[in-house]
Amino acid sequence: MTDTRGGNGPSKAKASGLSRRSFVRYGAAGLAVAAVGGGVAVWANRPPVSPRQQGLPRIPDWTAADIPSLRGRSALVTGGNGYPVGDRSGLGFHDALELARAGADVTIASRKQERGEEAVRHIRSIVPGASIRFETLDLSYLASVAGFAERMRASRGSLDILVNNAGVMGRKSREVSANGFERVFATNTLGHFVLTALLLPLLREGQSPRVVWVSSSRSFMGAINFTDLQLVQDYDYGAAYDNSKLANLMLAFEMQRRSVAEGWGISSIAAHPGIARTNLVPDGPGPDSLEGRNHRYMPFLFQPPAQGALPTLYAATSPQAAAGGYYGPNGAMGLGGLPGWAGIPEKADDQQVAGRLWTTLEQLGDVTFGRMG
Ligand SMILES: NC(=O)c1ccc[n+]([C@@H]2O[C@H](COP(=O)([O-])OP(=O)(O)OC[C@H]3O[C@@H](n4cnc5c(N)ncnc54)[C@H](OP(=O)(O)O)[C@@H]3O)[C@@H](O)[C@H]2O)c1
């Protein structure tokens, strides 16, 4: 038997007339075609889309240069500390950078102080005189959320823009927060819900206040299963993430309905970044997961984080952004491009489920967010 793996023996590729380089090139091209083909098939077979955003006029090309002046406005971005690491940087970092560049007084908040302070230094080096600071916040720990909200309330009278951006993708085995909640649910959904509830008085004092909830096109694959909301019985890191992103989308819509019904004067808007190269996968399921392999072998699918941040920035700042709307990249399958209307999974418009989710989160988070009716 001939060993073709090394030494001086002819490789399989050479023996078949292919150089190693073209073997790798054709292999990568084949993988890409399969991936794109698979993506199209998944996209074509995705669960029903709500008709709500169909027929709306196309959004004219919009970039960060179109952000209006935000002088005199205040903004909070959760997870804004993802400073560049190699070729990755968090979407929140770019949200914070552009909000600060437009003149807003920006607070970024997340767990790691060192990375937060690095992001502040980096933003100040790009925008001299930027009004930006870092605060420690662990969304997965309710006492940390309460402490953070208390500090915010003690230090200011109002808040104009809240970007609920921070998020984790789960690791391969189930983890729980300090409060005993599944970690992805605790961070992405419950933590942001409680934070928004506790900041409601500040937001209500804001200038045309907005809350932006960052979801994902993976919300199409999510489900809200009240009998196993935290995947105790059947944990899967992908499902934990998808469910949390569907939940956040539903919370965005439910908050808008409640804001109108109760006269809060706050616009609640959802956005998703398509797919962007960040720390989400490396910090989550890691390089050996499906998502990690996509990172490694199909980098062309991932847009730069500065572009991925645009739908969120549009939702947070554009005078044209609609309360209760959902924005994402306008390119093929919503993976990349400039801000456009995002497809809404039909299930995200289920008001009964949204209402029950809201009250369930109020109970789990021990907050009263406001009552309807
Ligand atoms: N990248 C994509 O392709 C993609 C696609 C769809 C949706 N999204 C969404 O975009 C948002 C940003 O993600 P990203 O891609 O920029 O990922 P990222 O680079 O990993 O950034 C995540 C941010 O969340 C913070 N964070 C994590 N756990 C936290 C906690 N317990 N408390 C407070 N902050 C916490 C992190 O800071 P610390 O580690 O310091 O806490 C970091 O700043 C997420 O909501 C994600 O679901 C991303």
Which atom, in ligand 1's list, is nearest to the CA of 88? 19
The tokens for 37 are: 């083909």
Q: Does residue 118 surpass a pLDDT of 50? A: yes
Selected residue with higher pLDDT from 89 and 33: 89
How confident is the model at residue 351, as a pLDDT? Answer: 98
Single-letter amino acid code for the residue at 309: A
Average pLDDT over residues 123-152: 97
Amino acid at 130: A
Domain containing 193 equals 71-365
In a domain, 48, yes or no: no
Alpha carbon of 334 to those of 286, 304, 310, 337, 342: distances in Å? Answer: 24, 14, 13, 8, 7
pLDDT tens, position by position, 241-291: 999 999 999 999 999 999 999 999 999 999 999 999 999 998 899 989 999
Residue 369: per-residue pLDDT = 80
Position 182 in a domain: yes
| 310-352 confidence digits (pLDDT tens) | 999 999 999 999 999 999 999 988 899 999 999 999 999 999 9
In this model, does residue 197 exceed pLDDT 80? yes
* In a domain? residue 56: no
Does residue 7 have a pLDDT over 70? Answer: no
Q: Is residue 133 part of a domain?
A: yes
Q: Which pLDDT band, with edges at 50, 70 and 90, does 296 fall under? A: confident
Three-state DSSP class for 312? helix
In a domain, 22, yes or no: no
Ligand 1 center from residue 81 Cα (angstroms): 9
Q: Is residue 337 part of a domain?
A: yes
- Asked if the model's pLDDT at residue 24 lies above 70, the reply is no
Ligand 1 pocket, Cβ-based, cut-off 6 angstroms: 78-79, 81-82, 90-92, 110-112, 115, 137-140, 165-168, 187, 214, 216, 272-273, 275-276, 278-280, 283
Q: Give 230 Cα–ligand 1 centroid separation in angstroms.
A: 19
Q: How far is the CA of 20 from the centre of ligand 1 (A)?
A: 38
Write the CATH number for 89: 3.40.50.720
Task: Give the per-residue pLDDT at 55.
Answer: 86
Contacts of 352 (CB under 8 A, 6+ apart): none
- Scored b (16 or more CB within 10 A) or e, 150-172 reads eebeeeeeebbbbbbbbbbbbbe
Active-site annotation holder among 241, 314, 326, 327: 241
Reply yes or no on whether 314 is catalytic. no
Give pLDDT, residue 83: 73
Higher pLDDT pick, 305 / 8: 305
Examine residue 124 and state whether it is found in any structural domain, yes or no: yes
| Sole residue written with tokens 């509830």 | 197
**How many domains would you assign to the chain?**
1
| Least-confidence region, from 20-29, 89-98, 294-303, 345-354 | 20-29
Token readout for 99 is: 């909000």
Q: How wide is the angle at C-alpha 174 spanned by C-alphas 147 and 43, nearest 5°?
A: 100
Q: What is the pTM of this model?
A: 0.90
Phi-psi domain of 286 (left: phi exceeds 0; alpha: psi -120 through 50; beta: other): left
80 to each of 97, 130, 167, 353, how far by Cα in Å? 9, 15, 11, 30
The reply to whether 62 falls in a domain is no
Of the chain, the percentage scoring pLDDT greater than 90 comes to: 77
Residue 225, amino acid: N
Give the Å distance between the CA of 25 and the centre of ligand 1: 33
Distance between CA 312 and CA 91 in Å, rounded?
9
Report pLDDT for 304: 92
Q: How confident is the model over 42-65, as a mean pLDDT?
A: 84
Tokens of 348: 């995200």
Two tokens, residue 101:
């560049």
